[in-house]
Amino acid sequence: MLEITSHRNGEVLNHTHGRESEEALTIVVHGIADPQSRVTVNGLPTLRHDRQFFVELPLRERINRVTACAHDKFGERTQTIVLVWDKASFKRYTVRIDDNSFFFTDLVKEKPAHLFDHFYLKELKRLHKTYGSKFILKCFYRNDHDPDKTTLSQVPDCYRGEFEENADWLHLAFHALSEFPDRPYQRCSTEKLAYDYDLTTQELKRIAGEKVCTPPTNVHWAMLPPKLYHVLHERGTRILTSAGFMANRIIVDGEVQNMEDTSCDIGFFYEQDVARYMLDRRCFYDPDHDLFLSRTFFCFNIDTPTEIEAKIRQEDARAAETGTEVLEAVGHEQYAYPHYKNYLSNYFERLETCCRVPSELGYQPVFFQEGIFGNQAWE
């Protein structure tokens, strides 16, 4: 018998979980083993109390392997877990807006003189100036709502300079070839995902420049089988984000549905133990695929401004208990447009709430795809 019980494999730890210095994060590891066993953790002898063992352990690396070893007359048993040190962590947030294609169509058809003459981009820039917020826009190659089916290949590159001038707060990334069909990568080939990704990203780089384009943090509908993770990983993705890790509400066929606590529908096919952990902690590291996971706990085109503020403040209040110092707002572009069937007249009020409340609570704006959830202390 041997089990580390204080930490789970893939846990992300910061200064709230131990004693931090410039050299290490020192934590207390404890577990259970047969009473007669001699137990060490990473070679350090442990204190014993009946079946329990305890030891102070310094984590010195970004990714740390922690091995408990129990030796007795029957032999030796080991257990190894991986723990992440989120060094010099701080409260931080990001804003992810999915399904972008409408504003690209407007750039083709309306040809504004300047990029930020467009109402949608103008509002994003206003929020950046007001709160310092950073936005990653997840993009479709084709606009399925446009009668002409406008694609990124038709968007001129005349706005590239303006995109590049604002690359410190505005990023573009692949989301899918188009909005329909739903769940496009839930069951697809490696070739299909790679083709859609490369085609879309190539055009985004032409339109906006290399430094504006970034690896995506998810794909459309957040359903991608693990056997295809490598396609994203090979193209730079190091984090997957989703509201589907045991989400309480999702949209199916245009209707909001409550999810049972045993469901893990749009959560990248992760098993229930990960999903339940994500429900509580919202951050996880998958050592099998070298990917960080983040669970979004609200969607600003579903939740009202009042609900958004309440959820953010509730999660912030829980930070002292969980140590989770990151939060992500997510929404979808199309709800900002009066011609869209589900138009939200208070779209930008909702979005502003996503920026205002974290700022009031001391969160700093980041891009989650940089470093560990936007913390670049290890870079």
Spatial strand order of the sheet with 63-72 comes to 11-13, 75-85, 63-72, 38-41, 44-45
Provide the 3-class DSSP secondary structure of residue 372: strand
Among 33, 56, 85, which residue terminates a domain? 85
Same domain, 209 and 75: no
Average the pLDDT over each of 1-15, 20-34, 213-227 and give the range with the smallest value: 213-227
- Per the CB < 8 A criterion, the answer to whether 344 and 335 are in contact is yes
In a domain, residue 48? The reply is: yes
pLDDT band at 375, cuts 50/70/90?
A: very high
CATH number for 232? 3.20.20.370
Same domain, 185 and 333: yes
Same domain, 58 and 138: no
Among 37, 56, 85, which residue terminates a domain? 85
Same domain, 140 and 77: no
In a domain, residue 132? The reply is: yes
- Per the CB < 8 A criterion, the answer to whether 247 and 298 are in contact is no
CATH number for 10? 2.60.40.10
Same domain, 48 and 138: no
CB environment 271-301: b (16+ within 10 A), e (fewer): eeebbebbbebbbbbbeebebbbbbbbbbbb
pLDDT score of 272: 75
pLDDT score of 240: 95
What is the rounded average pLDDT for all residues in the chain?
Answer: 94
Among 85, 117, 141, which residue terminates a domain? 85
In a domain, residue 251? The reply is: yes
Q: Is the pLDDT of residue 146 over 60?
A: yes
In a domain, residue 123? The reply is: yes
Same domain, 70 and 162: no
pTM of this prediction? 0.92
Q: Is the pLDDT of residue 258 over 80?
A: no
The residues near 181 (Cβ < 8 Å, ≥ 6 apart) are: none
Average the pLDDT over each of 198-202, 263-267, 289-293 and give the range with the smallest value: 263-267
The residues that bridge with 98 in the sheet, in sequence order, are 332
In a domain, residue 298? The reply is: yes
Same domain, 79 and 112: no
Tens-digit pLDDT profile for residues 193-214:
999 999 999 999 999 999 999 9
Same domain, 79 and 98: no
Same domain, 18 and 161: no
Domain range for 74:
2-85
In a domain, residue 374? The reply is: no
In a domain, residue 7? The reply is: yes
Same domain, 112 and 22: no
Same domain, 154 and 227: yes
Q: How many domains does the chain have?
A: 2
Q: Is the pLDDT of residue 260 over 80?
A: no
Tens-digit pLDDT profile for residues 72-87:
999 999 999 999 999 9
Same domain, 36 and 182: no
In a domain, residue 228? The reply is: yes
